[in-house]
Copies of this chain bind each other. A is one copy, B any other.
Amino acid sequence: MMQSYTAAELATILDAQLEGNPEARIEGIATLENAGAEHLAFLHSGRYQSQLKSCKAGAVLVKEEFAAEVSGTALIVADPYLAYAAASVLFDRALESKPGIGPGAVIDSTATVARSAVVGANAVIGSNTVVADGVRIGANTVIGNNCMVGEKTRLAANVSVYDGVRIGKQCVIHSAAVIGADGFGFANDGGCWVKIHQLGGVAIGDRVEIGAGTTIDRGALDDTCIGDGVILDNQIQIAHNVTIGENTAIAACAAIAGSTRIGKQCTIAGACGIAGHLSIVDGTHITAMSMITKSITEAGAYSSGTIMEPHKQWKRNAVRFRQLDDMARRIKELETIIKQNTEGQSES
């Protein structure tokens, strides 16, 4: 069953001003370039303005300044990208699922699962775990003992949640994510590693998104904490006792080492590494593949690494990197000699 809306209905939902045909029937969203009469499109950047005229979309989300250029129906909003986000949920078929317990699901007799929840086939839910209203749990997902999953949170297929993990409301957790595995804690006993059993938990706030394959370890003694509104992309590693502040966004493959505290409203780009026991202030932005080994106390953008170049050229430069300290000394020496010579000359 395909969901559809008239342009007028969308205008109401998205708080938009309609110019054109209120009866235009919209069944999905497409780019300006690919949209047909059944699609909603949007112009979020002046860069694509030239596509407006040839666009065949049934309706287009635009700012007022571009409304006149829309050949079909315009839905005028202050922020078309935000309106597109709001519209996207209307056409997400992944959200269609009937409440109930799937075949083969194994739910411990001491667990509490709301009637309005969906539990996928072959999912497993442990003892004393509470699954709140409107929660959807994917097939083959495993939730341990003594967990809490808040209202309307969705877990995809094959998610692993260990014992003692608290997850807030309206979160999304993708497949192969692992929440609450042991932190990497070991004591060294004459060359051999002795495991420090990880006795803390994980506390995840509301409206948190956790990408596919992302791992969030449980704390050693206290909890690992992910604040409200944090968004984590795929294959991110969050070590034990990390704290991440509200609304911070972390892109794929970043890794945060143990006990580091990341502030609110930070953006951490892909494949960054952040060392352990650091403190990163609110509003910090870290560019892709940077290595952060010291605390950041001043908001701003930070980077490390070098910029790509043709391999042959790079090799010559990379070899010189290992002579950098020597080069710096030699520049200093040259400056000293020049200064002496110049002084000598001026004296003579």
Q: In the assembled complex, how far is the CB of residue A14 from the closest CB belonging to chain B, in whole angstroms?
A: 12
Within 8 A of B (CB), among A127-159: 138-140, 142, 144, 156-158
Q: Tell me the bound Cα distance from A287 to B163 in angstroms.
A: 33
Docked-complex contact B289 and A288, CB < 8 angstroms: no
Q: In the assembled complex, how far is the CB of residue A66 from the closest CB belonging to chain B, in whole angstroms?
A: 18
Within 8 A of B (CB), among A248-275: 249, 251-253, 255, 257, 265, 270-271, 273, 275
Partner of A163, one of B31, B93, B215, B235: B93
Chain A residues touching B, range: 35 or more
A103 lies within 8 A of chain B by Cβ: yes
Q: In the assembled complex, how far is the CB of residue A303 from the closest CB belonging to chain B, in whole angstroms?
A: 4
A194 lies within 8 A of chain B by Cβ: yes
Q: Tell me the bound Cα distance from A303 to B24 in angstroms.
A: 51
A48 lies within 8 A of chain B by Cβ: no
26 A-B Cβ contacts within 8 A?
A: A85-B185, A88-B199, A91-B199, A102-B124, A120-B124, A120-B142, A140-B140, A142-B158, A142-B175, A158-B176, A184-B234, A193-B247, A195-B209, A215-B235, A233-B239, A237-B253, A252-B255, A255-B271, A273-B289, A288-B291, A302-B309, A304-B308, A307-B321, A314-B322, A320-B324, A323-B328
Q: Which residues of A contact B (CB under 8 A)?
A: 28-31, 34, 79, 81-82, 84-86, 88-89, 91-95, 102-104, 106, 120-122, 124, 138-140, 142, 144, 156-158, 160, 162-164, 172, 174-178, 181-182, 184-189, 191-199, 207, 209, 211-213, 215, 217, 221-222, 229, 231, 233-235, 237, 239, 247, 249, 251-253, 255, 257, 265, 270-271, 273, 275, 285-294, 300-325, 327-328, 330-331, 334-335, 337-338, 341-342, 345
